[in-house]
Amino acid sequence: MKHWRETTEIVNRILALAAAGRRAALATVIRIDGSSYRRPGAKFLIEDDGRTLGGVSGGCLEADVCEIALGVMRTGVPRLLHYDTGADDSTVWGLGLGCNGSVDIFVQPATVAPTLEVLRELGARLAQGSAIAISTLIDGPADVGRVLLPDRVARDAVSRVTTDDSRTVFTEVLQPPPVLIVCGAGDDARPLVSLASEAGFAVTVVDHRQAFLTADRFPSARRLVVMRPDGDVGQLGIDARSLVVIKTHAYAHDRDWLKTCVNSPASYIGLLGPRARAEEMLGELNAANDARVFAPVGLSVGADGPEQIAISVIAELLSVLSRQAPVHLREKREAIHAF
């Protein structure tokens, strides 16, 4: 889900650089084996003056990729890079990939005419918010680096590398970011909205107090909606992919928003506040057995204060979305990103 936001930012930056007559190269993770900090589709933009955006690792590969990318800009020839940790612990730590991990990265000129034409179309599709597939020829007898946007994306499509007739293609599938609706625009909502946006959620903040819904308070929010729970909630667009966190700090407003949400198709409903308070509300609404309701909201990590509570809430959201029970990574025997 983070790839959608990252891709949007990088595409916009490439188009701006091209309009200014500057050059850039784009590095994309296309394949991983074992443990790796980023997944296939992660992107790293390198500008002609050495400035960068995004990333392909935890910071250990970027310097080398940046140097190679500057050469790709000069020659115009794409490069397919392979980094392998092997069994040498010093190599493992030098690359930051984890034991026996490897990663393939494709580096291509980003501001050449054919690519720019596709990126403009990609930018338009990203703005529309529907699933997108991006196919890039990464190896073959000709046209290496060519990018295509297939018209259709299968419902179960996943990012992958395929080889056919000596041509190797990486197809990345971008799914629209999940929508998080935060009911309540108090001060403690600000770190939640900020961190959720950084994590890749498309955040809507809704409150009946218009003075609280300002861009300077919530600069990263996708939408700010002035509304009471008995208003026209249809304009919120709550569907089966929507997640809701209720935190107005007023019993009546929280109860009314909870009523609205349990009667909606939302897949997750988090409610801030003590357990007894939540149980009372759910009892009034005959919704005590609604498995979508997480109350109190968040994971138990000893959080104290709005910022830490926001982290615990986002951790719970990610756990629910990935259908993974929270666990210490040291207790996980398979690869970190395995489901």
Say which residues have a Cβ less than 8 Å from residue 148's Cβ, sequence separation at least 6: 118, 134, 135, 136
Does 100 lie in the same domain as 233? no
In-domain check, residue 332? no
User: Using alpha carbons only, what angle is made at residue 91 by residues 87 and 96, rounded to the nearest 5 degrees?
Assistant: 110
Using 50, 70 and 90 to split pLDDT, how confident is the model at 91? Answer: very low
Q: Is the pLDDT of residue 333 over 90?
A: no
Give the pLDDT score at 339.
Answer: 52
210 in the same domain as 161 = no
Boundaries of domain holding 75: 2-174
* Residue 37: pLDDT band with limits 50, 70, 90: confident
pLDDT at 338: 57
159 and 272, same domain (yes or no): no
Convert the pLDDT of each residue in 144-169 to its tens digit: 999 999 988 877 788 999 998 889 99
Residue 89 is predicted with a pLDDT of: 47
List the structure tokens of 224: 């700010």
Quickly tell me which residue has 């569907």 as its tokens.
239
34: pLDDT strictly greater than 60: yes
pTM check: above 0.75: yes
Q: State the average pLDDT for the chain.
A: 92
More confident residue, 47 or 334: 47
Start-end of H helices in 20-112 = 62-75, 89-95
Do residues 197 and 215 share a domain? yes
Rounded distance between C-alpha atoms, residue 124 and residue 126, angstroms: 5
Beta bridge partners of 29: 105
pLDDT at 55: 95
Flag whether 40 is in a domain.
yes
Residue 331: inside a domain: no
Percentage of the chain lying above the pLDDT 90 cut: 81
| Residue 174: pLDDT over 50 | yes
What's the rounded Cα separation, in Å, for the pair 120 and 128? 13
Task: Tell me: do 131 and 183 sit in the same domain.
Answer: no
Q: What is the 3-state secondary structure (H, E, C) of 100-126?
A: CCEEEEEEEECCCHHHHHHHHHHHHHH
What would the mean pLDDT of 7-23 be, rounded to a whole number? Answer: 97
CATH of the domain at 202: 3.40.50.720
- Per-residue pLDDT tens over the stretch 38-53: 899 999 999 999 999 9
Q: β-strands 242-246, 179-183: how paired?
A: parallel
Contact 190, 307 (CB under 8 A): no
3 is written with which tokens? 């790839």
Structure tokens at 206: 């809704």
pLDDT at 96 over 80: no
In Å, the largest CA–CA distance within the chain is 69
Is the pLDDT at 105 greater than 70, yes or no? Answer: yes
Q: Residues 246-266: what's their mean pLDDT?
A: 96
Tokens of 288: 């005590």
DSSP letters for 247-298: --S-HHHHHHHHHHHHTS--SEEEE-S-HHHHHHHHHHTT-TT-TTEESS-S
Does residue 333 lie in a domain region?
A: no
Q: Are 225 and 282 within one domain?
A: yes
pLDDT of 99:
45
Q: What is the pLDDT of residues 259-276, one digit of tens each?
A: 999 999 999 999 999 999
The first and second tokens of residue 315, run together, are 């951790």
Q: Which residue has the higher pLDDT, 204 or 91?
A: 204
DSSP bridge pairs for 41: none
Q: Quote the number of domains for the chain.
A: 2
The verdict on 206 and 166 lying in the same domain is no
